[in-house]
Chains A and B, each alone.
Chain A
Amino acid sequence: MAQYYDIDDILADEELVPAVFLEAINGVGLFESNDTNRVEPRSKVELPFWLARELHLRQAASVSMPPCFNKKTREEIGADGAHVDLRTRCSYFYELGCKIVQLIGDKTIGSLLLVAFQTRYKEVLIKAHTAASALTPKFLSLLTKEEIKLYDAAKSSTAAFRNWRMGGPRFQKASVLGRKRKPIGEKNMHFCLPALWRIGYRLGCS
């Protein structure tokens, strides 16, 4: 699943998840105040996901549910998914959710993600194709990274279409056509100008 070169995938790995150490570990230096550089068993720490996963797989720590999938968030999504501020909770809500499911095997997260996306997707769809740009900043601040990407894609393609329909400069003049001929290149330019005209003819800028 993981895309090696996907920057969002890498950034999603940076999200903090709560973990409990099962063994004492030396030399990790997680706590600045602790001069022994040692982590006691059963100490709770927030670790970035990439580290927590490795420790979990080696049974050195156990990962528990991140706070963005707690009961309160679930209830809010159930009530009105479209207006939950997922971005402040976890801007990689869906990506992290997918990764967490594979790790701790709590399958209720999967359906939570799907329901959340289903309700929020409609909101993105409507806003992206209709809303004036003045409305959007407040709405955009609720979206996760993935939803923002979707929103931007829709917004830019409709804007491009609108621009094309309204007209504007239909054909751009090739930069060679407007330039004054340089004395040295004169012979060559004589040779290639008719060719350029012919291209212009095909493009319609007679």
Chain B
Amino acid sequence: MSGQSDPRGSTFSAAELEFLAEDETMEIVPNLSMERLSLISGDFGPFRPQIATQVPIWLAVALKKRGKCTIRPPDWMSVEKLTQVLEAERDSASSFEALPFHYVEISRLLFDHARDDIPDVYMVRSLIEDIKDVRFHKIGTGLEKLSSRTYAMKLNLSAMEVNVIRPFVTGGLETFYKLGNPEMIQESERQEFRRPQAADRGPRRELRR
């Protein structure tokens, strides 16, 4: 899948990512009666007043705008959970906490449309901002280690974070690949610039262009 906003189709715009995030499901408590909705992505409902049900975010937001439901913020969006995550993020310099893949987009959607359904909304909002800043800082310091020997990275990065760094990382890796090509460098000189590394990495697959 690729974005439509970029002529080369290699990145998404933030609005496109938000659109994709709207397909995640979320719990709502409707205050209307409605039959089951059969959509392409699945069946949702039936809707009965005061009975919680799972719906995609775009539907939740649309119902919320008409005052037909209250949104139950997901578990990770509570002050306690976010404080834990923030502390863990600050403690470890290299690993990332497991947050939902679309946490940046979902939180923005809920802050925009369902402020009254989130307990301690200001606190939650500033916590999420902090978490995001800490993570971006870590990404920045992590990228400094990028080199011609970087083949794959496994991190718990979210969609938005990946999208922001994508153009830079792909460009940088491509140049590293080009310059670190064995044709370009003698084997003996290659050793010189090799930094000490862990031995138990296992076999690596070479990144192909």
**What residues make up the interface of A, taking CB atoms closer than 8 Å to B?**
94, 98, 101-102, 107-111, 113-115, 117-118, 121-122, 125-126, 128-130, 146, 149-150, 153-154, 156-158, 160-161, 163-165, 170, 201-202, 204, 206
B193 touches A114 (CB 8 A): yes
Query: Bound complex: CA of A156 vs CA of B62, how far in Å?
Result: 32
Give the interface SS of chain A, mostly helix, strand, loop or mixed.
helix
- Residue among A98, A111, A125, A130 making CB contact with B168, cutoff 8 Å: A125
Residue of B nearest to A110 (CB): B184
- Residue among B15, B147, B166, B179 making CB contact with A110, cutoff 8 Å: B179
B175 touches A94 (CB 8 A): yes
Most B CB contacts (10 A, CB to CB) among A107, A149, A156 go to: A107
Give 28 A-B contacts (CB < 8 Å), ordered by A residue: A94-B175, A102-B183, A107-B186, A107-B189, A109-B184, A110-B181, A121-B176, A125-B143, A125-B168, A126-B144, A146-B175, A149-B171, A150-B172, A153-B167, A153-B168, A153-B171, A156-B167, A157-B11, A158-B164, A160-B13, A161-B14, A161-B160, A161-B164, A163-B14, A164-B13, A204-B58, A206-B62, A206-B65
Query: Bound complex: CA of A94 vs CA of B62, how far in Å?
Result: 52
**What residues make up the interface of B, taking CB atoms closer than 8 Å to A?**
11, 13-15, 18, 58, 61-62, 65-66, 108, 112-113, 136, 140, 143-144, 146-148, 160, 163-168, 171-172, 175-176, 178-181, 183-186, 189-190, 192-193
Q: Which residues of A contact B183 (CB under 8 A)?
A: 101-102
Interchain nearest-CB distance for B134 vs A (Å): 14
Known: A111-B185, A114-B179, A158-B164. A121 touches B172 (CB 8 A): yes
B61 touches A129 (CB 8 A): no
A122 touches B193 (CB 8 A): no
- Residue among B65, B164, B185 making CB contact with A204, cutoff 8 Å: B65
B180 touches A129 (CB 8 A): no
B171 touches A202 (CB 8 A): no
Query: Bound complex: CA of A156 vs CA of B144, how far in Å?
Result: 19
Q: Which residues of B contact A130 (CB under 8 A)?
A: 140
Query: Bound complex: CA of A130 vs CA of B140, how far in Å?
Result: 10
B160 touches A98 (CB 8 A): no
A111 touches B189 (CB 8 A): yes
